Chain A
Amino acid sequence: MPSQTYAIWILLAPLLAAVLIGAVGLRGLRDKSHWLAIGGVAAALVLALMLFGQIRAVPEEARADIFTRSHKIYEWFRPGFGGLASLKWFDFEFRIDPLTGVMLVTVLSVSLMVVIYSSGYMRDHHGHPERGYERFFAFLALFIFSMCLLVLAGNFVLLYVGWELVGLCSYLLIGFYYPKPSAAAAAKKAFIVTRIGDFGFAMGIFLIFWRCGDVSFAYVFSQAGLAKLVGWETPVALLLFCGAVGKSAQLPLHTWLPDAMEGPSPVSALIHAATMVTAGVYMVARCGAIFTESPTAMATVASVGAITAFFAATIAITQFDMKRALAYSTISQLGYMFLGLGVHAADAAVFHLFTHAFFKSLLFLAAGSVMHAMGGCIDIRRFGGLAKGMKVTAFVFWVGGLALAGFPFLSGFWSKDEILHAALGVSLPLAIVGYVTALLTAFYTFRLIFIAFHGPLKLPQGVEHAHESVPAMTIPMLLLSIGAAGAGYIGLQHGGKLNELLRTVLVGRLEEHAPGMAHVMSPEAAMAMSGVLSAIGILSAWYIYRRKPMIAMAAAFAMRGPYELIKNKYYIDELYDAVIVRPLHDLGKFCYGFDRYFINALLWIITAIPRAAGFMLRSLQQGAIQGYAMGMVIGLLVIVVAVLSAT
């Protein structure tokens, strides 16, 4: 079967599921809706694995040709017509290469787990589906379709389509509990903030179109296309990066992601941890050919990544909402990925994307399992010691936590280490920020674990027991924990199959771009350092939160100012509200007032002229003979004078 046939069916399977659920969900399926979604996603996953096999089977020497081809499905729309050189149509076309393959497999395998999990999660304790059960699965399937479209897209416009569609699904799913005002507001915020980034992304695409006259990857990334972009790489790359910043919640557009936790937990796991938010990383990796040409852009990507990683990690330490803490952790980990991209280690970044998808979705699903058991409560101050009642959840949370903390030999360890090692080769300050963040990561992760799962049992009001979740939820979590633990072994640093495959399409490897840069540390030493840092982080979390809980409080009390600052997320939301949102809203009020009181007043004055004239002339028409006679005499005199003076 040709590869585009696979691609079409990978897209159609979840789309058909979504449409069918939408069409008959409310009437026929209701609480069986998940079967359609599971079927569609499973079919897509099988196809994606077959496609991946096909990609891997491509012989080494043919790769350059096959992977840069675009697979055209149909002609979509065209920008121009005629002229000396007729313009091409913008096609509905696919790009099928190792990057696509890796992304598809990641997205679909996590998706399948999340969909299965949701069939248990979206019910109450008696197994009755929640209100909107079928809607949830329809949106989820639609999301999976959009995400696959995003990674399969063969040109920038189609990439943008997938990009916006995943944003739409995110909007719909964050707002799933729409009667809740905070959920409705969070949904809106997510859409709008990411759209600010999309604005830059769109401008970047226009710039590419302007220079190259085409938006197809096959052309833009070819020699001829890149030649036309010479001198413009920096603006193009920075504009495209704007889109990535919005979508992947990097500074300064990160504010939507923590709020997005208003959505159901499976949504947080799938969209806001494993897949959609990594779209920015995918895009930058995909456009590596442009980014690597511009040192400015690379430095920007790396610095934004590193700063965001550190910044978000500090906030994560102070959060009491388990899901929000994990959301900041996601922002931080995405920062790592951008750091990797910025230091010419795109394959390591994609590798981290791959491992992160497993362990972070696992953590979110586990958090969801806790939330489900705690009757919707997710504040870690209100429960504790859950490990006794919820063994499976505690176990998978540990696995995910260790992987996130970069504990040796779990998946996060391998990928994070690779990024940090690459950073060491490029910029020492960035690498130091990265290592400090690694320490913080281990600390905040285990802060959550020790507070929530260990110590004396504590339950929120109204919850009698800490129930373990149903098998529909625990089995996907266990499967994901295998991935979280072992996913790193496919991409070991040297001779890893994944990296080898990715390297054929990802541009820019450290050795090629900075051959003269001496490594500060050997790979083994760097690895050892990561391991030690993660162990220190875990142990200090254990010491502070299990042994001497007073330390945390004392520290918070002693450093009241900084603590409040961090706890309130550096007041960035408030800042944006005061500096951007309010002034704009006031400007809107001004505009509306301008309409009513200035433009309309002006119109009134203009229309008043004939009215005033009429009013004045009316006095002349008072109907008295004398007046008319007077007028006649004056008129006659004027005529006589005029005639006389003319002759």
Chain B
Amino acid sequence: MDFVTSHILSILIFLPIVGAACLWVFPPRAAASIRRAAFGISLATMAVAIAATVIYYSSSQDDVRAVRVGKLGLVEQHDWIGESGMPNPPRERCHETPLLVQFYVGVDGISLPLILLTSLLTPLAIWASFHAIQDRAKEYYSLFLLLFGAMLGVFCSRDLLLFYVFFEFTLIPMYFLVGIWGGANRRKAADMFFLYTFAGSVLTFAGVLYLGWKTYATGGGSLRFDLDSLYRLAAQGHLSATEQTWLFLAFFAGFAIKVPLFPMHTWLPLAHTEAPTAGSVILAGVLLKLGTYGFLRMSVPMLPEAAVNCASWLAVLSVVGIIYGSLAAWVQTDMKKLVAYSSVAHLGFCMLGMFSLKMEGLTGSLLYMVNHGLSTGALFLCVGMIYERYHTREMSKIGGLARRMPVLTFFFVFFTLSSIGLPGLNGFIGEVLVLMGTFISHTAQRGSPAGPLGPLYAAVAGTGIVLGAVYMLFLCRKVLFGPLHEPEDHAEHEHDAGALPIDLTAREVSILVPIALACLYIGIAPKPLFELVQPALKTQVLARVEPAMKPEGSFARVAGRPLAVAESASTERSARVR
């Protein structure tokens, strides 16, 4: 048992990966058993994720609970490539620069919500594929589990290179999922998705290597990539403003395409539209969050000065993305494309909140990641359920479905409302905090220095709330309300063997219900979530970026102070408050 608790994150990451390998090598004969096995493995992973959360909650150090002060928990650290603890090599052997890559994982209040989101959505996505995926089941479910493990790996990694490996690795299963089981235009979509995101992350890789070299050059002993060392670089003033800006841009290339920020978003509508339903759910629900998570975990705390300097133009891109995405969503005729463009707008909110560099905005941004995963994921599921019945996503071909499918209509409207930020559901909390943080960003009060954004950004972004209602309700009106309108060939298919009943089946309802409950929970009583997230954002992000925001002095002067002092000071303070 002790072994399990101390290696819980490795189990979490490798359970689905090993499961995928087993499924691939020893597939059960019947397709039904394959999908049941895959579903079972994903559920087991979900159980491990929940167990990890519980263990993290109870973990403490010196009588201070890790969750209270936002400290890292469940840490596992093993050398992977190279050895730690080696002194700097002698001068003449300089060319043999030792490389040190670690299998270093851990969680805190920032990664846990996303891990939980991933492990909620993936089993549901697998379950949602039961009817839609009939051919090549072995490959499909193995790839899906592989993807699951890689995504969990991203959120757990505490070593930049390990992070990068998992980050890139998610591309491979997704490429095949889109390329093999996608829609009519799947090849092009898969190619574009892969090449576009890959091209960006190659630049990121250059940045990663530079940072590794920098740790070595400043006396780290080897090319190290663990986040502790990397965070220290800027805090100790080893990174000049120019270096930071270039590194920020390198990271930006990879992360911003993933998010996607305007104008790097064009791969997204195509990939979302062509992916199979479950693929779209994971793509929107989790994969986009890899980009925002990368910004939050890497760019902002690691390159604080650049983050402060670049914040305003990143915010401009976000705001443009919000409005652009909303307007483009409004003119779509394909349901899936509409939801895809809505993601562009939503992720704009997410980035905007993050770069307000205020507690309000950061909390809102992180919650927005979770909320977008829930509501957009569920909307893709709903659209997929319609598609499975009518074999079309064209809004002009269907209408008035409320009459035929009242249960689907209930859920569709529910998640629409969640998506447009109706109070009482999850979307509202994230949206209001993002805008609040953006609005008050420019003021230095309540102990936090002045941030880069201001009311103008909030006001322009706020129109996105109105536009959000415009395009989502347009979708509802077209598809659900109005006179009943079905494709002409529908009647023929209706009595086919294996065709789905008109309204949702029990399986389909049970896919949507957990997501709906999560939405309600976050909307009505999110206090535990806030207590998990905010201390972590404080210690892991804000404490690192705030020194760069001091209005009275340049970063260099403040930077001399080692971060460790600041961190321990804040820890003490929180401990005292407790």
B480 at the interface (CB under 8 A from A): yes
* Chain A residues in 8 Å Cβ range of B327: 584, 587-588, 591
- A179 near B440 with CB under 8 A, answer no
Interface string of A51-78 (1 = CB under 8 A from B): 0000000000000000000000011111
B328 in contact with A191 (CB, 8 Å):
no
C-alpha gap A84/B363 in the complex (Å): 18
Instruction: Determine if A603 and B331 form an interchain contact, defined as CB atoms under 8 angstroms apart.
Output: no
B residues 406-435 near A (Cβ < 8 Å) are: 417, 422-424, 428-429, 432-433, 435
How far is the CB of B111 from the nearest CB of chain A, in Å?
18
Those of A573-629 within 8 Å (CB) of chain B: 584-585, 587-589, 591-592, 595-596, 599-600, 603, 607
On whether the beta carbons of A79 and B360 are closer than 8 Å, the reply is: yes
Q: Which residues of B contact A557 (CB under 8 A)?
A: none
| Contact of B328 (CB < 8 Å), options: A84, A184, A198, A592 | A592
- Is the CB of B332 closer than 8 A to any CB of chain A? yes
Q: How far is the CB of B339 from chain A (nearest CB, A)?
A: 15
Q: In the bound complex, do residue A188 and residue B473 qualify as a contact, i.e. CB atoms below 8 Å apart?
A: yes
Assess the B328–A595 pair: CB atoms within 8 A.
yes
0/1 string, A112-153, CB within 8 A of B gives 1? 000000000000000000000000000000000000000000
Contact A85 B266 (CB under 8 A): no
Of A80, A180, A183, A592, the residue contacting B331 (CB under 8 A) is: A592
Contact A81 to B429, CB < 8 A, known contacts A206-B439, A210-B439, A588-B328? no
- In A23-63, the 8 Å CB interface with B consists of none
Residue of B nearest to A163 (CB): B423
Contact B538 A199 (CB under 8 A): no
How long is the Cα–Cα vector from A311 to B459 in the complex, in angstroms?
Answer: 30
CA distance A187 to B477 in the complex (A): 9
Q: In residues 543-589 of chain A, which contact B (Cβ within 8 Å)?
A: 584-585, 587-589
B143 within 8 A of A: no
Query: Could you give, for residues 310-326 of chain B, a 1 whenever the CB lies within 8 Å of some chain A CB and a 0 otherwise?
Result: 00000000000000100
Binds A, one of B8-16, B37-45, B461-469: B461-469
Q: Given A164-B423, A188-B474, A178 and B481 touching (CB < 8 A)?
A: yes
Q: Once the chains are docked, how many angstroms separate the CA of A239 from the CA of B470?
A: 21
CB-defined contacts of B465 to chain A, threshold 8 Å: 195, 198-199, 202
A interface bracket (residues with beta carbon within 8 Å of B): 35 or more
- Nearest CB on A from B92, distance (A): 28
Do residues A209 and B436 form an inter-chain contact, with CB atoms below 8 A? yes
- Contact flags (1/0) for A156-169 with B, using CB distance below 8 Å? 01001100110010
Question: Which chain B positions have C-beta within 8 A of A192?
Answer: 466, 469-470, 473
Given contacts A181-B483, A184-B477, A213-B446, contact A599 B266 (CB under 8 A): yes
User: Contact check: which of B403, B432, B436, B481 meets A184 at CB < 8 Å?
Assistant: B481
Given contacts A82-B538, A179-B403, A603-B266, contact A168 B422 (CB under 8 A): yes
- Size band of the B side of the interface? 35 or more
Considering the complex, which residues of chain B in the window 256-272 have a beta carbon less than 8 Å from any beta carbon of chain A?
Answer: 263, 265-266, 269
Q: How far is the CA of A192 from the CA of B420 in the complex (A)?
A: 11
**How far is A192 from B469 in the complex, measured between Cα atoms in Å?**
6
Q: Does B224 contact A (CB under 8 A)?
A: no
Chain B residues with Cβ below 8 Å from A588 are 327-331
Cross-chain contact of A600 among B266, B331, B423, B432 (Cβ < 8 A): B266
What 15 additional pairs, Cβ within 8 angstroms, besides A79-B433, A85-B446, A599-B266?
A74-B527, A79-B359, A80-B360, A157-B432, A161-B428, A164-B423, A179-B400, A179-B403, A181-B483, A192-B466, A199-B463, A202-B465, A584-B330, A595-B269, A596-B266
27 contacts between A and B (CB under 8 A): A76-B526, A77-B433, A77-B526, A79-B359, A79-B433, A79-B436, A79-B437, A83-B448, A84-B447, A87-B446, A164-B424, A165-B422, A168-B422, A178-B481, A180-B482, A180-B483, A184-B481, A188-B474, A188-B476, A191-B469, A195-B466, A199-B463, A202-B432, A202-B435, A207-B439, A596-B266, A599-B263
Binding site for A on B (CB under 8 A): 195-196, 263, 265-266, 269, 324, 327-332, 358-360, 363, 400, 402-403, 417, 422-424, 428-429, 432-433, 435-437, 439-440, 443, 445-448, 455, 458-459, 462-463, 465-466, 469-470, 473-474, 476-477, 480-484, 525-527, 530, 534-535, 537-538, 570, 573-574, 577
